[in-house]
Structure 1
Amino acid sequence: MTSDLFPAAALATLKQAYPNTPCRIGHGLIGHPLLALDSLAELAGTLPADSVEHNLGAMPIGIDPQDIPASDLGIVETIRTIDESKSWAVLKRIEQDPRYAELLGSVLAQLEPVVRPRTGPMLELEGFVFISSPGSITPFHFDPEHNVLLQLRGSKTMTVFPAHDDRLADPRIHEAFHLGQHHRNLPWQDEFGAAGQAMTIEPGEALYVPVKAPHWVKNGPEVSISLSVTWRSEWSFAEADARAFNHMLRGLGLSPASPAPFPNRNLAKSLGHRAIRKLRGGLGR
C-alpha cells in the first residue's frame, strides 16, 4: 500500500523547497490499517512509557511545560475516546514495533532521492503518530529533525515560522535545548503571529517542516490522525553542535553569532564542540 506513495508532482515540490522552506505535498497513505484508531490504541499499550505522551487539548498557543494540565485518562483510553476526551496524544518512535518500522522505512525510502542529494544520508529515522480531539491545540515549539507530516484523518492547521529568526526563539533557548536544558515549547508573544504562515492539510496532504522551524497546530472540527516521518542530517547535527559550542563561548563572556542556515555547514563550531566533547569524555575515563 506504500508503493508510489508520493506523486511525481509532490516530490518535485519538495525538491524545490527542501531543506529550508515549508511546503504542502500530496500523499497516498490514506486507509493504511496500521494507522487506524484501533490499531494505534493497541500500539500505545505496547510502547514504553517514555514513548507516549498525552495532554488536554484546550491549551493556549504559548504555555510553560510546567503549566500543562494533566489528564486523568491513560494513553490507551485517551486514544479510544479521542472524539470526546478533548485531548491530543503522540506515539513516539513507532519503529520500535517491527510492523511500523517497515512502514516508516517504506515512506522515507520514497523521500530519499530528494533528500540525499541536498543534505546527505538520512540519519536517525523516527516516526511519530499524533491523535487529536477536535479543536485541540499543540503549543508553539520547535523540533530538531527534518519532518514530513502526513494527514490521514480530519484536518489541522499548522502555523509555521522562519527557522532562523532570533526574534522568535532567543539563541540561548536553542543552545539550552541542545544541551537538554530546555523543553521544546517556546515562549509566545502575540506579535509573532504576523511572521507565521498558516498551512491547512486534509487527508491525503502532507507538510514538510524544516529543522527548528517554530510552529503551533490547531486541529480541525473532527478527530485528526497524522503520521510524522522524521530524519536528521549531518547538517542538522552540525547546527546542534554549533549551538552547544556557542553556549560555551557565552560562558567565556562572548556573544557568538547564531549558526547560519543551510547550505552553510557551521563546520568550525561543530568540530570545535565535538573535539571538546571527545576530550571531556577521555578525561572522564
Structure 2
Amino acid sequence: MMMTLHSSITPGSDLLPSFGTAALTDFATAYPDASVKLTHQLAGHPLLTRAALGELAARMPASSVEYNLGRLPLGVDPDETPHNGLTLAETIATIADNGSWAVLKNVERDPAYGALLDEALAPLEPIVRAATGPMLHREAFAFITSPGSVTPFHMDPEHNILLQIEGEKTMTVFPASDSQLVPPEKSESFASGGHRNLIWNDAFAARGTAVHLQPGDAIHVPVKAPHFVQNGDQASVSFSITWRSSRSVAEGELHSLNGRLRRRHLPLVAVGARPERQMFARGLFRVARRIGL
C-alpha cells in the first residue's frame, strides 16, 4: 500500500516539521520491527536547551527524575547504581564536568513539552496507524549526560525514537527477537514490572549495530530491542519520543500471561509476530489477572 507522506505544519507557518520527507520514508520502511537512523529538525529548539531543561527539572516531582554517576559498566545491577552526591539542579548545571547521567521522565505532562511531543509525533502518526494502529500512551523523556557516560544494556517497552539535540553519542542496538539476549523469563518479568536492565555478556557485542548520533540525527528503536549508549566527549542532550500500540500492549499481555503460567508449571502460550491478533490468549490473560492466577 502506498502512503503519502506530508508535513503536519500549518501552511504559512515558519516552523519546520520535526521530520522531513526522507526521514519519514526511511521510518515507514523500518517500522515497527527494524532499527533505522533518521534525521530530525528539532536540534536547537528552545525547549531542549540545557537551561530550559534545568528549569523544567526544578518544577518536576522527584518521582519523575532519575540521575546517577554516568561512567558505568554495560551490565549493572540497578540496585547498585552509584549516586553522584549532587542535587538534580547541580547535576544539570555542571553536567559537562560531573560525570553523571540524568533523565527527566514524562515531560509531556508539562503543557509546553506536551505540545512539543505532539509536534514531533504528528508526521509519524499516519505511518504508525497504518502499521500498528493508533499511537497509545504517548510519552517523552529528556536525557542530559556527561562526556563519557554510559547507559547500560537494557530494553524499553515502548516504540521509541531518540533525537540527538546537543553533543554526540553512539547507540548500539541489538535484535529484539534474540532470545539469548532477552530470555523468555526476562520478557515475562519485564512485562510484569521488572527492571529494564539486562545481563551483559561480552560475546553479545558482535550482534549489535553501533549508530553514531550527532545533533539532527535520530534513531528508531523497536519495542524491547536491547541497546546501550556511550556518550561522546561533550555533554549531551537527547529527546526521546515514545508511544505504545495494540501490538506492544498485546505482546506485554502474553508475556505476563506466560509468567503466570510458568510459575504454576503450566503450558506456555507462543507469542507470535502479530500478538494483537491472538485474541483467545489475550482473553485468557484477562481472566487470569481477574482471578489472581
Matched-pair contact (CA < 8 Å) for 1:20–1:262: no
TM-score, structure 1 length as denominator?
0.94
Q: 1:6 and 1:112 mapped to 2: Cα distance?
A: 12
The aligned counterpart of 1:186 is 198
The aligned counterpart of 2:8 is none
The aligned counterpart of 2:47 is 34
Relative to 1, partners in 2 of residues 1:106 and 1:211: Cα closer, same or farther, differing over 3 Å?
Answer: same
Relative to 1, partners in 2 of residues 1:250 and 1:105: Cα closer, same or farther, differing over 3 Å?
Answer: same
Matching of residues 1-285 of structure 1 within 5 Å: 3-180=16-193, 182-254=194-266, 256=268, 259-262=271-274, 265-280=277-292
| Pairwise CA RMSD | 1.6
Q: 2:99 and 2:292 mapped to 1: Cα distance?
A: 47
Q: Percent identity?
A: 49
The more displaced of 1-10 and 79-88 is 1-10
Note the residue ranges of structure 2 that are not aligned, 5 or more in a row: 1-13
Relative to 1, partners in 2 of residues 1:206 and 1:252: Cα closer, same or farther, differing over 3 Å?
Answer: same
Q: 1:216 and 1:260 mapped to 2: Cα distance?
A: 26
Following TM superposition, where does structure 1 have runs of at least 4 consecutive aligned residues deviating by more than 4 angstroms? none
TM-score, structure 2 length as denominator?
0.92
AA aligned opposite 2:107: I
Q: 1:35 and 1:23 mapped to 2: Cα distance?
A: 23
SS at 1:110 equivalent = coil
The aligned counterpart of 2:6 is none
Matched-pair contact (CA < 8 Å) for 1:19–1:262: no
Matched-pair contact (CA < 8 Å) for 1:59–1:138: yes
The aligned counterpart of 2:4 is none
Q: Describe the superposition over 1:185-235 as per-residue Cα deviations: whole angstroms up to 9, x where unpaired.
A: 111111111111111111001000000001000001111100000000011
Q: Describe the superposition over 1:41-98 as per-residue Cα deviations: whole angstroms up to 9, x where unpaired.
A: 1111111111000010110000111111112011111011000010010000001111
SS at 1:253 equivalent = coil
Q: CA deviation at 1:5?
A: 1.9
Matched-pair contact (CA < 8 Å) for 2:39–2:217: yes
AA aligned opposite 2:60: L
Relative to 1, partners in 2 of residues 1:139 and 1:43: Cα closer, same or farther, differing over 3 Å?
Answer: same
Note the residue ranges of structure 1 that are not aligned, 5 or more in a row: none
Q: 1:194 and 1:265 mapped to 2: Cα distance?
A: 34
Q: 1:45 and 1:238 mapped to 2: Cα distance?
A: 36
Relative to 1, partners in 2 of residues 1:2 and 1:121: Cα closer, same or farther, differing over 3 Å?
Answer: farther
Number of matched pairs: 280
Q: CA deviation at 1:275?
A: 2.6
AA aligned opposite 1:248: R
